A = this chain, B = another copy of it.
Amino acid sequence: MHRMYRPAALFPAFSAAFLLAAAAVPAADWSEQDLATAATLRDRAVAGTNAFDHVSGLVTEVGPRFAGSAGDAAAVRWALNRLGTLGFSNVRSQDVLVPRWVRGTAEVSIVAPYPQPLVAVAIGGSVGTPEEGIEAQVVTVGSLEALSALPANQVSGKIVFIDQRMERTRDASGYGAVVPNRSQGASVAANLGATALVIRSVGTSPDRVAHTGGLSYRTDAPRIPAFAISNPDADLLARQVKSGKPVRLRLRSTARELPPAWSANVIGEIPGSQSPNEVVLLGAHLDSWDVGPGAVDDGAGVAIVMEAARLIAKLDRKPARTIRVVLFANEEFGLSGGREYARLMSEEIPRHVIAFEADLGQGPVWRLQSRVGVEQLPAVAQMLQVLEPLKIEGGDNTASGGADLRPLREAGVPVLDLSLDATNYFDIHHTTNDTLAKIDPKILDQSVAAYAVAAWLASTKQGDFGRASQQTSAGSH
């Protein structure tokens, strides 16, 4: 995922007292049997699921699958086969045109005062350097705001180094706080005359692994090359800067754009027995960054939603509404799949009863947030009661739903956030270390349990969830 996050503390939480009061209201949202089935689903999932097998299959048989690459095409084939093999109905793909970018090689070295090579990646979407590279003095700033405040004569002709460390947080707010360095830094620096941008990785790994992700060039700024260096390399560069001697960097990147290519959203369904035209959408994204196999981002999410739906399909009882698993194309490099889904499905959007996505790692799920009609909050509270044995707490009614779901949310589709614990996620997210070794099957099973419960309850609820409140902006991209 690559969204920005805002601290949950800014919004009123629905308190435990409120939840109990709400649950005490005699609501007919679910039959006792539906609630009992939800609890059974939950307990079965915790006892063990096949989710790990799904993610293992994806990273073993496909691995890196950046939008438009050969791996991306292999992932679409893999997902179609997997959903078919697992017994999903209406398995199909939706063609999605995606932008193409290839990183080539990136080199960042300190040339003075003490020459050393640094571990670096080109930021996704960045332009390459001239063949001979770029060499210039470094100007260091502690934040994007500090950079914006510098006069151009302190920046012109130099390489800007934004040295801001990401904070580790459970709710990913630490990521949102520094990701503008990566997404906007190059254009801010370029407008001050910088020749290139280097940032401290937007990630928490203490290892020598650089964190990629995308940038957006402003149309009014020159396009300059942009790199991220690992945390220990940023430490080293900072120590050399601290020596007081002028620090010079040499940069080289062969990154370049290619013509757009075709990818696809992949869809599979568990048909509803009573209201098959009404949809409960479970999303994840099929693509990954190019630097690693994408086990956690978002192989874990693919596995969670696939397995949650499969467990429901295996029940003796059938969901009333259709449960639709959508594996979105190209979340990472421009959200092409989510946008194309909303465009192609525009007539169906009013029949999307609720949507939620798994795109913040393996879990565990620690919080339930919603964005539903306020009159439906008691139903969310009742859903939470089934989730509480999984150690899931309540949140507020400003859920984002996930980056791929933004167009649906903005069109009024209610969304849930089954918040995945992001404490360690940004050690591996968008890096070469996003491997199967980082996934704990038991944690994945807890997440499957939460998604299965929410999907089952959403599919069997009497009446819908209203429409998503739009009053509070959340999950700004």
Contact = CB atoms under 8 A, between A and B. Distances in A.
Given A236-B293, A239-B56, A433 B208 contact: yes
B114 A231 contact: no
A319 interface: no
Contacts of A437: 206-207, 231-232, 235
Interface string A193-218: 00000000000001111000000000
Given A231-B437, A236-B293, A437-B231, A62 B432 contact: no
A432 B205 CA distance: 14
A437 B56 CA distance: 32
Nearest to A113: B61
A124 interface: no
Contacts of A236: 59-60, 63, 293, 435-436
A15 interface: no
Interface string A411-445: 00000000000000000000011011110000000
A209 B433 CA distance: 9
Contact of A239 (B60, B206, B208, B239): B60
A274 interface: no
A208 B435 contact: yes
A191 interface: no
A56 B116 CA distance: 14
A120 to B, nearest CB: 12
A95 B117 CA distance: 27
A292 interface: yes
A64 interface: yes
A152 interface: no
Nearest to A116: B63
A62 B116 CA distance: 7
Contacts of A61: 113-114
A342 interface: no
A240 B432 CA distance: 19
Nearest to A62: B114
Interface string A37-62: 00000000000000000001001111
A119 interface: yes
A62 B239 CA distance: 12
A467 B351 CA distance: 88
A292 B436 CA distance: 25
A427 B116 CA distance: 22
A293 B64 contact: no
Nearest to A295: B232
Contacts of A63: 114, 116, 236
Contacts of A231: 437
A207 B232 CA distance: 15
A64 B436 contact: no
B208 A436 contact: no
Contacts of A70: 115
A342 to B, nearest CB: 32
Nearest to A110: B63
A207 B292 CA distance: 11
A236 B432 CA distance: 14
Nearest to A292: B208
Interface string A96-124: 00000000000000000111110100000
Most chain B beta carbons < 10 A, residue from A70, A74, A235, A292: A235
A117 B290 CA distance: 11
A156 B293 CA distance: 32
A432 B114 contact: no
26 contacts: A59-B236, A60-B114, A60-B236, A60-B243, A61-B114, A62-B114, A63-B114, A63-B236, A64-B116, A64-B117, A71-B116, A116-B293, A206-B437, A206-B438, A207-B207, A207-B209, A208-B433, A208-B435, A209-B209, A231-B437, A232-B433, A232-B435, A232-B437, A235-B435, A235-B437, A236-B436
